[in-house]
Amino acid sequence: MTRNSKTGALVPTHSVDKLYEVLPEIKQIADIEFCDIENIDSTNVKPAHWVKLLEKIEENYEKFDGFVVTHGTDTMTFSASGLSFMTRDLGKPIIFTGAQLPLADAITDAHQNLLHSFKFATEDVGEVAICFGNKLIRGNRAQKRSEFSWEAFESVNVPPIGEYGLSPKLFAHRIRRDHTRKTTFVSDFENKIHILHLYPGIQSAIFDMLVDTGIKGIVINAFGAGNIPGDLIPAIQNAIKKGVSIVVTTQCDLGAAEMFLYEVGLEAQKNASVSGLDMTLEAAYAKLQVVLAKTDDPKKIKKLMQSDFAGELTEDIF
């Protein structure tokens, strides 16, 4: 981004190849080629942009040892989650990064984040990750937690997969680089997915309204351990009968949708709602899009949603 000279507001900037002009030292890290996919504010990013990014990576996958994606911070965790499910058996790093302040500002985190990302892209990593501040976080385990801190992103329910001090340090639970893997790219997704954040007094009619729009899946961001108010259950039952898949995550920063703990969660689970286990909201949303493009069988949907694709959940958590 750069600042509009009249308003001071941040707007999309010039082509990515300008990085060489302001960061010539990246030439000491790797041989780099640049490519523009879209030049938009990340608030405007949609799943269709994930496909464009995926297609460009697939086109160049055999030519490079790793990829760095510069991306706005607002929707970075959604895009990183999406790419983690659209690249099966990934054997190379795809590192997302961005900044809290523009590259051209006198004080900015952009230089550090970019340099660290390019360095991590040369290391023994074989998964989609977000490099921000001093952390390397699995993309589908990351959430943005701060608009102020240089350490804007946190790793949810698992530790970061790496960190940067005087040099890059990688941890054993990362997915390692492996050039022998046969990577496949999955561009099909179902985009008729809605995220519903519960709040006290939410009306059950909202489910009927969503069903009438032709929605295929709803990710319910529920209270506590996946708890859902009892007066919503009939509407959820009706939505499921009409072929809508329901996945439940928790609003809590840490933990999982343990829907069996309380009656209000158990009743929802009995009605074929699927626990998102310890997935982030972003991961559940992106994964459900990929899963529903593959099958509409409720049993298969549940099995796939609760199976580990790319380190996004803990299968034996309960």
Give pLDDT tens digits for 248-266.
999 988 888 875 554 544 5
Q: Looking at domain 193-305, which of 1.10.1840.10, 3.20.20.70, 3.40.220.10, 3.40.50.40 is its CATH number?
A: 3.40.50.40
Q: What is residue 113's predicted lDDT score, i.e. its pLDDT?
A: 95
pLDDT digits (tens, 9 = 90+) for 54-82: 999 999 999 999 999 999 999 999 999 99
pLDDT digits (tens, 9 = 90+) for 28-54: 999 999 888 888 888 899 999 999 999
Residues paired with 250 in a beta bridge = 222
Contact 292, 190 (CB under 8 A): yes
Rounded Cα–Cα distance for residues 271 and 90 (Å): 35
How crowded is residue 258: how many other Cβ atoms within 10 Å of its Cβ? Answer: 20
How crowded is residue 104: how many other Cβ atoms within 10 Å of its Cβ? Answer: 13
Local confidence band at 318 (pLDDT 50, 70, 90 cut-offs): low
Contact 70, 41 (CB under 8 A): no
pLDDT digits (tens, 9 = 90+) for 202-212: 999 999 999 99
Q: Which residue has the higher pLDDT, 260 or 177?
A: 177
Identify the residue whose tokens are 């890290």.
Answer: 29
pLDDT digits (tens, 9 = 90+) for 83-95: 999 999 999 999 9
pLDDT digits (tens, 9 = 90+) for 178-196: 989 999 999 999 999 999 9
Mean model confidence pLDDT for the chain: 90
Q: What is residue 8's predicted lDDT score, i.e. its pLDDT?
A: 67
Q: What is residue 266's predicted lDDT score, i.e. its pLDDT?
A: 53
Query: What are the structure tokens assigned to 118, written together?
Result: 């390019």
Q: Which residue has the higher pLDDT, 24 or 163?
A: 163
Query: What is the distance between the terminal CA atoms of the chain, rounded to a whole angstrom?
Result: 44
Q: What is residue 262's predicted lDDT score, i.e. its pLDDT?
A: 46
Mean pLDDT along residues 1-7: 68
Q: What is residue 22's predicted lDDT score, i.e. its pLDDT?
A: 79
Contacts 24+ apart (CB under 8 A), 19-25: 19/103, 19/114, 22/103, 22/104, 22/111, 23/111, 23/114, 23/115, 25/115
Question: In the chain, pLDDT over 70 holds for what percent of residues?
Answer: 90
139-148, 152-161, 258-267, 281-290: least confidently modelled range: 258-267
User: How long a stretch of residues is the chain?
Assistant: 318
272's torsion region: left (phi>0), alpha (psi -120 to 50) or beta?
Answer: left
User: 2-185 — its CATH code?
Assistant: 3.40.50.1170
What sign has the CA pseudo-torsion 62, 68, 71, 73?
positive
Mean pLDDT along residues 261-281: 69
How crowded is residue 287: how many other Cβ atoms within 10 Å of its Cβ? Answer: 27
143-147, 225-229, 259-263: least confidently modelled range: 259-263
Dihedral, CA of residue 51, residue 53, residue 59 and residue 64, to nearest 10: -150
Q: Which residue has the higher pLDDT, 102 or 281?
A: 281
Where in the chain are the domains? 2-185, 193-305
Q: What is residue 78's predicted lDDT score, i.e. its pLDDT?
A: 98
